[in-house]
Amino acid sequence: MGIVAAAAVAAAVLSSAAPTGWTPVDVVYRAVFAGVVTMASVRARRWTLIWAAALASAAAGGWVAVPAGAALAGGIALQVLHRRDRWARAAVGGTAAVCLLMLEWPPFALGSALVAAVAVAPVLATGYLRMHHRNRPYVWAGLGAAVLLLVLGLVTTGLFAATAAPAVASGVRNAADAVEGLGNDTAGSTQQQFAQAADDFARAGQVGDAWWLAPARAVPVLAQHVQLGRDATTSGQELGTVAADVSTQVTDERLRRPEGGIDLVRLAALQAPAEQARDSLDTVVGRLELGRSPWILGPVSAKVDEVADKVGSARDSADLAAVAAQRAPAMLGADGERRYIVLLGNPAELRDVGGHIGNWAEVVVSNGTIDVRRVGQPYDLYTPNTVPHPNLTPGAYPQSLVELRPDLYPQNWGGSPDLPTVARLVAEIWPQVNGGAKVDGVAYADPTAFAALLELTGPVTVPGTSTRLAADNAVEYLTRTQFAEIRQTGDDGDPLGEVIRSSLTNFTSSQLPSPGSLGEVFGPVVAGGHLQLATLHPEDDDLLARTLLLGEVERPGAGDLLAVVSRNVNPSKIDAYLQRTVDYDVAWNVATGETRGVLTVKLSNTAPADGLPDVVLNGPEGTPNGTNRTQLCVLSPLKVRSAYLDGERTGVGTLPELRGVDRHCLFVDLAAGSTRTVKFNLLGDLGAGVPYLLQWVGQSTVGPDSARLSVQADRTSVDGGKARVSIPLDPAEDELVTVTPDVLGAAGRG
């Protein structure tokens, strides 16, 4: 019995195995496991001791391998020498049992528990069969007690679920309603709903702390589910309490001035409660992670993953709110006025950032008040005949942008898909043509962004016409209809300047919509790249990047980047009828990093040959009416091995664009109603032993583009096979795609 006691004590002290997560009970379980195996070893077959010790030795790591190896040697010695010493059997079995409670292999969930069960099963079975009959009732008594504990555990778990479920459901419902109201004009009701959610979760938590749940907490598997429920209710209570407190401080009326603008003092004061909410959410995320267990059943685990994702998203939102409260006041003129130039582009004539710059607006922000100073057309700033024309710092911009001569043609300021580059360009030129006025930032907006603005300000009449622009017709009018009206009226001027000025002034001089309303309207617009903002203050970049406004084109480390960019060459407004389909097939060698890409771009010109204004249909000299001549460019860190236009090999021009990224371009003529296919074969080394990363950079075009990424990994060095995954990409939205062998494996073969 001394060896049995020693094994039980060693298992209780040395092992950290936690079958229930309730420490006192787990200590007892470890001691009982080692004690029972040790007692069974006295009667068990000698080969079963060798089996148990061998598995313990094979799966043990670190110093545990030493006693496990000693147990294996002892078991072999007993077999070879045909010894029947009870103390020796007990020592071998007890040592193996203790070691089996401290395994490091296999690394997957419940792997060590499975090894331990397989290891001791023969010992327990043969030990029972060879046990004296008068001792067997004790075994059955023990099993009966275990069954009784299981039954009690199941009953109390069911009672817990039935009692706590209504309170949890009410808490979730109230919390969801409160979250739905956040940022809208319902601060009072939002606060009450969060407080009610906290009370609901507190009631559920009281059930989770009841003494009668002890049997459930003492049964493996049941214990983990009960503990997870207790953690969830505690987390819900904390979240409800914190959210109710934060919502009392975040009232839109306090932030939004009736005369327009933002109260920057109160905005800055939101930093502390936002950080408090973030820290509380961090705690909840940590608790949910700690509460996760491989014993949790699949459906329950899936629900926990869903909750954890939502809490993690809320945590990111709280962190974003804290960063916004810290940085936004300076961007809104808290430290002195800021001047922003808004470039209004039209993708009916494509440029890299989106569209040809048709109008601009100068906006000055001071102490939260937004003032629209001027609105004009590009040539209101300077023309090709302006002497002297603006100077550009040599080597400061990509050659492809310089070739568009933005120093002569301000409508080409958007000649880079990287808005920070455009912002640097505008900031250098603007003071030269506007009396030295310093620029703090540049925004890009297209007709989709303008339509969103009209959704908030209401319709506006285009001067000189009977057209009323509203959210539902603005994009169609600005990209197509307006050019027909110009033909009919004979007016080739700018009928939109006053529309833009009045809409912007109306938006900025009246009480701004709530943050929730702004997010609902402008969120998809920003995500699609229709509204971007870059400043000349690097400390703003974090906030702008998090809000998807920055418009930065940057290769993800040593990974891949792909941007498919069309430039109108005519020039004309025919790109409103251009449709593109992008397929990017990547063959990636996991072991070497060699990456081969096949990029296929289908271009369709849906414009008719007649029936539209000349500004739309006049093609390049020598081409039929309705021809669209476009410069198709691909931005990538990979090199072009070959390129084909409609199956015929063609030449490609290559220039360095941004850090680690080249621009590969060719010209394509698209007759009215035609479709042409361009294929690029790309090759490069993206590094061995790292995931495949792709930064997809979308271009905001008028037509409904489509894009797809397909990655095939050569995993010969990993598992002797290949795997493929296909991912649809939003052509108008930038996104970072990460592909690993595990992702490919989960996606399936072929």
pLDDT in tens, 285-312: 776 666 566 666 666 666 666 666 666 7
* One-letter amino acid of 451: A
pLDDT of residue 172: 61
**C-alpha to C-alpha distance for 25 and 20, rounded to whole angstroms:** 7
Q: Which residues contact 419 (CB under 8 A, 6 or more apart)?
A: 353, 442, 444, 532, 533, 534, 550, 551, 552
pLDDT of residue 228: 72
Least confident of 445-454, 676-685, 728-737: 728-737
Domain-embedded: residue 623: yes
pLDDT of residue 748: 34
Of 546, 577, 597, which residue sits at a domain end? Answer: 546
The string of pLDDT tens digits covering residues 451-492 is 999 999 999 998 888 889 999 999 999 999 988 775 444 444
Percent of the chain with pLDDT over 90: 54
Closest CA to 326 of 234, 264, 375, 237: 264
Closest CA to 699 of 584, 577, 522, 564: 564
**Token output for 530:** 């229709």
3-state secondary structure of 309: helix
pLDDT of residue 287: 66
Please provide the distance, in angstroms rounded to a whole number, between the alpha carbons at the two ends of the chain: 61
Q: In 182-263, which residue ranges form alpha helices assigned H by DSSP?
A: 187-208, 214-217, 222-249, 252-255
Of 106, 131, 156, which residue sits at a domain end? Answer: 131
Q: Where in the sequence is the domain holding 31, given as residue range(s)? A: 2-131
CB 167 within 8 A of CB 203: yes
As a whole number, the mean pLDDT across the chain is 85
E-strand stretches of 428-517:
441-445, 460-461, 468-469
Q: Determine if the pTM surpasses 0.85.
A: no
Q: Could you tell me the pLDDT band of residue 715, with boundaries at 50, 70 and 90?
A: low
* One-letter amino acid of 400: S
pLDDT of residue 720: 44
Q: Could you tell me the pLDDT band of residue 193, with boundaries at 50, 70 and 90?
A: low
pLDDT of residue 117: 92
If asked whether residues 99 and 156 sit together in one domain, one would say no
Give the phi and the psi of residue 684 in degrees, each rounded to 5: -175, 175
If asked whether residues 595 and 658 sit together in one domain, one would say yes
- Residue at token pair 């790109």: 575
pLDDT at residue 199 greater than cutoff 60: yes
The string of pLDDT tens digits covering residues 83-119 is 778 899 999 999 999 999 998 788 766 778 889 999 9
If asked whether residues 58 and 105 sit together in one domain, one would say yes
CA atoms in the 13 A half-sphere facing the CB of 412? 16
Strands 441-445 and 648-649: unpaired
**Token output for 695:** 């930064």
pLDDT of residue 430: 97
pLDDT of residue 220: 86
Domain-embedded: residue 141: no
CB 729 within 8 A of CB 604: no
Domain-embedded: residue 425: yes
**C-alpha to C-alpha distance for 205 and 186, rounded to whole angstroms:** 28
Q: Which residues contact 739 (CB under 8 A, 6 or more apart)?
A: 588, 691, 692, 693, 694, 711, 713, 725, 727
Q: What is the 3-state secondary structure (H, E, C) of 652-698?
A: CEEEEEECCEEEEEEEEEECCCCEEEEEEEEEEECCCCCCEEEEEEC
If asked whether residues 388 and 303 sit together in one domain, one would say no
If asked whether residues 564 and 664 sit together in one domain, one would say yes
Domain-embedded: residue 555: no
pLDDT of residue 223: 82
Domain-embedded: residue 119: yes
**Token output for 55:** 């598995």
CB-based burial, 109-118: b 16+ in 10 Å, e otherwise: eeebbebbee
Domain-embedded: residue 731: yes
CB 465 within 8 A of CB 490: no
Q: How many CB atoms lie within 10 A of CB 614?
A: 11
**Token output for 608:** 């008719």
**C-alpha to C-alpha distance for 652 and 648, rounded to whole angstroms:** 13
The string of pLDDT tens digits covering residues 39-62 is 999 999 999 999 999 999 999 888
Mean pLDDT of 664-678: 97
Of 131, 158, 193, which residue sits at a domain end? Answer: 131
| CATH number for 672 | 2.60.40
If asked whether residues 495 and 582 sit together in one domain, one would say no
Domain-embedded: residue 138: no
Total residue length of the chain: 750
If asked whether residues 624 and 721 sit together in one domain, one would say yes
What are the angstrom distances between the C-alpha of 93 and each of 40, 231, 502?
8, 38, 87
Per the structure, the count of domains in the chain is: 4
The string of pLDDT tens digits covering residues 309-357 is 666 776 777 788 889 889 999 999 999 999 999 999 999 999 999 999 9
If asked whether residues 112 and 182 sit together in one domain, one would say no
Least confident of 168-172, 606-610, 699-703: 168-172
Closest CA to 322 of 282, 278, 284, 265: 278
pLDDT of residue 597: 96
If asked whether residues 97 and 58 sit together in one domain, one would say yes
**C-alpha to C-alpha distance for 750 and 736, rounded to whole angstroms:** 24
Domain-embedded: residue 554: no
If asked whether residues 202 and 113 sit together in one domain, one would say no
If asked whether residues 21 and 90 sit together in one domain, one would say yes
If asked whether residues 601 and 732 sit together in one domain, one would say yes
**Token output for 441:** 């930032």
Question: Is the model more confident about 511 or about 33?
Answer: 33
pLDDT of residue 252: 53
CB 539 within 8 A of CB 327: yes
3-state secondary structure of 155: helix
